[in-house]
Amino acid sequence: MVPANGSRAAEPVYRPILACRRGELDALSHLDSTAAALVAPILEVGTTDRSTMDTLRRLPPGLLPAVDVSALPDTPATELGRWDVPLMPVIGLAESDHRLAAHGAAARAHGRRALVRLRAGQDRAGPDRSTTAVERVWRCTELAPEECDLLVDAGDVCCPADVRSAEPRVRRLLDWARRHAWRSVTVAAGGMPPTLSRLPTDEPIRLDRWDWQLWQRLADVGVDYGDYGVHPAVPGTGDPGDRLPTVRYTDDGSWWVYRWARRGGRSEERFADLCRTLVSAPHWPSTGAAFSWGDHELLRRARRGAGAGSAANWTAWSTSHHLAYVLATLSRPDDDIAPSWHPRPGPPQRGRTTR
């Protein structure tokens, strides 16, 4: 295949869906060239201010983000071709003809690549109507199916029941997808609970990564992996009033959530205590600070080498570790966990566990 970017030597294996905010963008900006070639982030944009554009321009040169502006009004300011940033447009099946034409122009300006996003919980038109809708997308954007990646977005899956109900819906969509010659197909879901404020503080709490479990159940289909990083899929959820120092630390099939109360000392001291607890835990990587930029920053705080940072910093360091962990898992040569997609021709760790 021809690389979408001159410095891109490999096809991505991981498509995280991330909010286009400082923390997530800081994590992406610290990816090295090898990791940047394997990650294709999908950035959900909530504003078009100059700082967003400037940060997008500072992303690593091997990184080609897909940008979703569906939450923004259809105006000239949201036409991605005007942004002068290498990107892929994210296309929904219900976009207006005008926006589809603008997305097509942006795709043709940057290597003729686009990503079609199909939301499993919302797009339930049936296979024939879905085919009619996607054919309209290709016609209005002037793109061919093989120039488009497909994202099947399962939304939030936060418990075993969610996984069981999502799997058959996703499989039906994947069966439909095999009718068409997509460049690639990815299944993404979010597994982080919408709120952490009810979790105990001052001790690590283990949470299952249900999004990862859903993808593993689909291993026989051979789709790429996507998730929502360390945040829930539903926008606007979270704990706006909860300012406790928080680290969401990814492990094998789980997250370890560290929420440290501010009582008993200044925030710098409390965060240093959080980090010392983390770096002494069994799930701290054997390579330590070398594992990711985020791990390096957390170790600095454990050694009292810097301040506590802010909520954006905690998101950045958690996301940096998460990206590195997922890539390391997907790239293990001894694991056949990610077979290729083809269209159809014709021991317990320290800390408490909760759900």
Within a domain: residue 344? no
DSSP class of residue 39 equals B
Question: By the 8 A CB rule, do 343 and 181 touch?
Answer: yes
C-alpha separations of 28 from 166, 200, 305, 322 in Å: 29, 30, 23, 11
Q: How many domains does the chain have?
A: 1
* Average pLDDT of span 81-106: 94
d(CA 269, CA 307): 9
Find all residues with CB under 8 Å of 43, minimum gap 6, and list them.
18, 19, 20, 24, 25, 56, 65, 66, 67, 68
Within a domain: residue 84? yes
Within a domain: residue 48? yes
The confidence band for 345, taking pLDDT boundaries of 50, 70 and 90, is: very low
Within a domain: residue 102? yes
User: Mean pLDDT: which of 51-55, 288-292, 351-355 is highest?
Assistant: 288-292
HSE-CB for 293 with a 13 A CA cutoff? 19
Within a domain: residue 36? yes
For the domain that residue 44 is a member of, what is the CATH number? 3.20.20.80
Percentage of the chain lying above the pLDDT 70 cut: 86
Checking if the pLDDT of 352 tops 60, the result is no
d(CA 276, CA 302): 5
Within a domain: residue 123? yes
Within a domain: residue 120? yes
Task: State the residue range of the domain holding 141.
Answer: 14-195+207-241+329-338
Checking if the pLDDT of 224 tops 80, the result is yes
d(CA 6, CA 189): 30
131 burial level (CB within 10 Å; 0-12, 13-18, 19+): middle
The secondary structure of 234-249 as a DSSP string is STT-S-TT--S-EEEE
* Average pLDDT of span 341-348: 48
Q: What is the pLDDT of residues 277-308, one digit of tens each?
A: 999 999 999 999 999 999 999 999 999 878 89
Find all residues with CB under 8 Å of 46, minimum gap 6, and list them.
19, 20, 71, 72
Within a domain: residue 8? no
The confidence band for 1, taking pLDDT boundaries of 50, 70 and 90, is: very low
HSE-CB for 341 with a 13 A CA cutoff? 24
pLDDT recorded at residue 343: 60
pLDDT averaged over the chain?
A: 87
